[in-house]
Structure 1
Amino acid sequence: MPDSPELPVPGALGRLARPRLYEQLVEQLLRHIESTKLGPGDLLPAERELAERLGVSRATLAQALVALEVLGVIDVQHGTGAVLRHRPSVAAVIKGLREHQSRLPDIVEARSTLEVRLAALAAERRTELDLSAIDAALATMQAEIDDGDRGAHGDEIFHQSVTNAAHSPVMAQLMAFIGEMVLETRLESLAQPGRPEQSLESHRAIAAAIRQQDAPAAAEAMQKHIELVSDVALLK
């Protein structure tokens, strides 16, 4: 007779789930920083060199670097590289990453609630000065992308310009309150290949609706934009 299948032993411990790849890589990066005695202000090795040392692809490494940037451990400067801001413990960083993941849906929900309404108000209330500020933000982001950067500064001032054009002081205060959390999603989104260009095009659609004083179209364009930038493949 064939052997009967083994039954699970009551109370037996199950196999522990392996840490996610990005968590393992972040830990390796922090160990490397510690072993090489890098301090605040020091430059990390180039991505190609780091990827070779750690035995991972540059794309995977880039995701881990963005994770550290989101938490303020490093500052990625275009044309320079990743600069260490401070040396936290591994446990603190992993805890921060998991907390960040858990609050992402709430950040997206808050942006959809506030920014969609702000875009509609901007279409109704914008002045010529507001339109000039929005156009300047678009030009800044385009210049950053043309220079090979992610366009994060242009992205930030575009959304600030739309908020200002809404002329709603209370909603502007609410946006300022979630500003640091929005920055997290901005960094993750714009780090993805092709995303800066896509984000800029959706900004242009929002700006066009605001210029035409079409509030429903501005709200719809902003909602589509938030859905686009919230589709983040990092940290998975």
Structure 2
Amino acid sequence: MTEALGRMNRSKLYEQVLERIRAHVAEKDLGAGDRLPSERELADRLGVSRASVKQALVVLEAQGLIDIRHGGGAYLTTNRLEAAPVEELVERRRRLPEVLEAREAIETKLAELAAERRTKDDLDAIDDALAYMGAEIKRGEPGIEGDRRFHEAITAAARSGLLAEFMRSIATQIAESRNESLRQPGRPTRSLTQHHKIAQAIRMSDPKAAAAAMRRHVQTVSKVRLLNWNPNEEP
């Protein structure tokens, strides 16, 4: 039995379970695709409840570090289990709903205005962003930079200085929501498909369709694992 997964002397909080799992991954030199011990095995070897283990695994899943397959166990998605501090994760979860609300309100209007005001150069920039994101996804990447370029191109096409300023003021928070969303399994491809629908409505100069497509897209972005995690839940 490894030292990292040696029994704890008393029940610990899930933050401490996280540290033991991280130590085990480093000790065993595990990487992407490798399977973690089962919940039952982790609980037995650490001397804690399965609820505590499950809470720790949920935190790792919310950060996109593991893939929990129902009935199949938990698998690493990265070569290094570098989980963010729990306090940072709690803060991100607290502010994420408001960021997503702001994105839906502002970006829906930006898409509508872009459909009314776009130029050929704007359409070229949007197409370039779509192509860039597509290439990222083909390389097995989440498409973060392409996504950023796409939304930036729509903001530029809307030609609204004040709305663009609002977007810049929450750029850091938008980046967080983008990262959270594109870490979801299958999300990069789905987001790219939705981007194409938004772009088509803008290309056709259809403000209502552009706004509706953007609203559906941001609502999809809002469906992230982090919001399903309750940091106050007692194991």
| TM-score, reference length from structure 1 | 0.68
Q: Does 1:211 align with 2:203?
A: yes
RMSD: 3.3
Give the alignment's TM-score, normalised by structure 2. Answer: 0.69
> 136, 154, 159: which is aligned to 1:167?
159
CA distance, structure 1, for counterparts of residue 222 and residue 146 of structure 2: 18
- 1:113-192 superposed matches below 5 A: 113-192=105-184
Higher CA-based Rg: 1
Cα separation, partners in 2 of 1:28 and 1:111, compared to 1, 3 Å? farther
Q: What SS is found at the alignment partner of 1:149?
A: coil
Residue in 2 aligned with 1:74? none
Tell whether the 8 Å contact from 1:123 to 1:212 is kept in structure 2 after alignment: yes
Distance 2:223 2:184 in 1: 10
CA distance in 1, matches of 2:17, 2:203: 46
Q: 1:228 to 1:64 in 2, by over 3 A?
A: closer
- Tell me how far 1:66 sits from its aligned partner: 3.5
Distance 1:25 1:126, change over 3 A: farther
**Paired residue type of 2:199:** A
CA drift of 1:221 comes to: 0.5
Letter matched to residue 99 of structure 1 = E
Structure 1 residues 232 and 213: alpha-carbon distance in aligned structure 2, compared to 1, 3 A threshold: same
CA distance in 2, matches of 1:224, 1:200: 13
CA gap 1:180/1:66 in 2 versus in 1, 3 angstroms? farther
Q: Which residue is equivalent to 2:32? A: 47
Change (3 A) 1:132 1:99: same
Are the aligned partners of 1:122 and 1:165 in contact in 2 as well (CA < 8 Å)? yes
Gaps of 5+ in 1: 1-17, 37-43, 68-79
Q: Does 1:222 align with 2:214?
A: yes
Match of 1:63 among 61, 64, 69: 61
Query: Aligned partners of 2:137 and 2:120: how far apart in 1?
Result: 26
How is 1:75-90 mapped onto 2 (pairs within 5 angstroms)? Answer: 81-82=79-80
Contact 2:144 2:178 in 1 (8 A): yes
Residues 66, 187 of structure 1: 8 Å contact kept: no
Q: 2:159 is paired with a residue of what secondary structure?
A: coil
Secondary structure (helix, strand or coil) at the match of 2:36 reads helix
Asked if the contact 1:107/1:182 (under 8 Å) is kept, the reply is yes
SS in 1 for 2:225: coil
Shift of residue 189, structure 1, vs aligned partner: 1.3
Q: Distance in 1 between matches of 2:129 and 2:20?
A: 38
Q: Percent identity?
A: 41
Report the CA distance shift for 1:29/1:154 in structure 2 as closer, same or farther (over 3 A). farther
Task: Give the aligned partner of residue 68 of structure 2.
Answer: none
2:64–2:184 contact (8 Å) kept in structure 1: no
Q: Which amino acid aligns with 1:196?
A: P
Query: Which residue identity does 2:192 align to in structure 1?
Result: L
